[in-house]
Structure 1
Amino acid sequence: MKPDFSENHVFVMDTDRYYSQVKDSYEGVLTEQECKKALRFLRVEDYRNYVARKYFVRKLLAVYLDEGPQEITFQLSAQKKPYIEGIEFNVSHSAEMAVIALSKAPVGIDIEFVKTDFSYHTLLADCFDSEEQDAIHKANDQLLAFYTLWTRKEALLKASGDGLVKEQLNEVNVLQNKTVHHRKTYHLFSTLLTENYMMSTAFTLSSIKTHYWNV
């Protein structure tokens, strides 16, 4: 089914499984430079993850642009965020999962593998304001609350083009599902994809439908 590019889309990918589907054809989709970069990864998991993500993004945008996937040229914003004229996209990956968000307006997405032994307490003062810290401390599952707010911040800052800058992390409050940053309204949504992966999105277009796809 061809996506309706006038609406929002989120694609969820098991990169290892998807790589097994494209491993014999990816060299006809990725550019020569991307193929060389893939081979420089030392860990097999990183290599497969990179190939799967690049392959899917190029094939997806090729449908939108109606041109060959290898012919697509990505532009870089002043903040080094890749973009294609006329459509916004954002990619995130963690462990064996990757997610891609697509929209007609600025969008950000983040996924994180929930590490049960992660010492998140050391990050609270630098990355969250007092209200957010209080919410984490009062949560029934503090670790999950941390990952929810962390992925929201990253999704929002990726959507705005700021990137994950430490100095800005505690300046933007993401407790509510709607927040204003740089005079632009972002609509936030978080979900636990599985018991191990937290995902958050930040869309500027909330009046249109968002579709979720497993690839």
Structure 2
Amino acid sequence: MNALEKVYSDENYEIFVFAIEQNSSMVDTSIIPNEQLDKIQKYKQDIDKIKRYLARTFLFEHCAKKYGLKDFSFIYTNKKRPKFKHSKVDFSISYSKNLIAVALSTNATVGVDIEFMEPSIVSKSIAAEFMNTIQLSKFNTLTKKDRDNYFYKMWTSKESLLKAMGDGLYINPKTVTNEIGDFFYFKDYIISFTKTNLRNTNHG
């Protein structure tokens, strides 16, 4: 991969960030199982397909090299969260503008969310869609710069926790308070990383 950055790493966790445009030539669809290729092909926009091909290519190549994984088939929890069929390695993928973030762990369930910090979309009306009353009250007391940062910290922290739990489509984000996440800043982006001990073994 070109323009690959490891923004965090320890004995149990890794977070990588890489650019879509600069790495699109690295896509290797031969490593992606046919079932996953069929699902990706259903996306209408080419960019949506490419970034998924690229994320899977990186994830699978990295897991093959570091963990000796050979079967990249997925199984799904009862909440449709993908997991490797024959490996304890857990992963989470997030996309924003031209960047992809991939988080991996060998001993916990992980969630990652990356967002381009665009000040123009920060507003009280949008904040009210995902912040609870206490969070929104704090948001309204902050200066413009601090308000922008708080907006994206709340957004990404909720998203990363919901992704770790597999509850993105099932829980109102206003009810989520994530106090176990870590934040990383990468150029004009913010990354939230959450690790939990929730290992959902029920599969649909």
Q: TM bucket by the smaller chain?
A: 0.7 to 0.9
Equivalent pair of 2:32/2:72 in contact (CA under 8 Å): no
Question: Equivalent residue of 1:143, what SS?
Answer: helix
Letter in 2 for 1:189: D
Q: Does 1:161 align with 2:153?
A: no
Structure 1 residue 46: Cα displacement: 2.4
Letter in 2 for 1:200: S
Structure 1 residue 173: Cα displacement: 2.1
Q: Which has the higher contact order (CA 8 A, sep 6+)?
A: 1
Q: Does 1:191 align with 2:184?
A: yes
Equivalent pair of 2:95/2:114 in contact (CA under 8 Å): yes
Q: Find the aligned partners of 1:55 and 1:88 in 2 and give their Cα distance.
A: 16
Structure 1 residue 40: Cα displacement: 5.0
Structure 1 residue 6: Cα displacement: 4.5
In structure 2, the residue matched to 1:213 is: none
Q: Which of 9, 17, 25 is matched with 2:14 structurally?
A: 9
- Provide the TM-score with structure 1 as the length reference: 0.74
- Provide the TM-score with structure 2 as the length reference: 0.78
Q: CA RMSD in A?
A: 2.4
Equivalent pair of 1:126/1:166 in contact (CA under 8 Å): no
Equivalent pair of 1:89/1:100 in contact (CA under 8 Å): yes
Structure 1 residue 164: Cα displacement: 4.6
Deviations 1:75-130 (A, max 9, x none): 10111111124121111111111111111201111011223321542233342122
Question: Equivalent residue of 2:183, what SS?
Answer: strand
Deviations 1:167-213 (A, max 9, x none): 2x122223xxxx3xxxxxxx211232112x221011237xxxxxxxx
In structure 2, the residue matched to 1:83 is: 83
Distance change (3 Å), C-alpha of 1:10 and 1:67: closer
- 5+ long unaligned stretches in structure 2: 1-8, 198-204
Report the identity percentage: 23
Q: Find the aligned partners of 1:16 and 1:47 in 2 and give their Cα distance.
A: 13
- 5+ long unaligned stretches in structure 1: 180-186, 206-215
Q: Does 1:73 align with 2:73?
A: yes
Q: Which of 187, 199, 204 is matched with 2:196 structurally?
A: 204
Q: Which of 40, 49, 58 is matched with 1:47 structurally?
A: 49
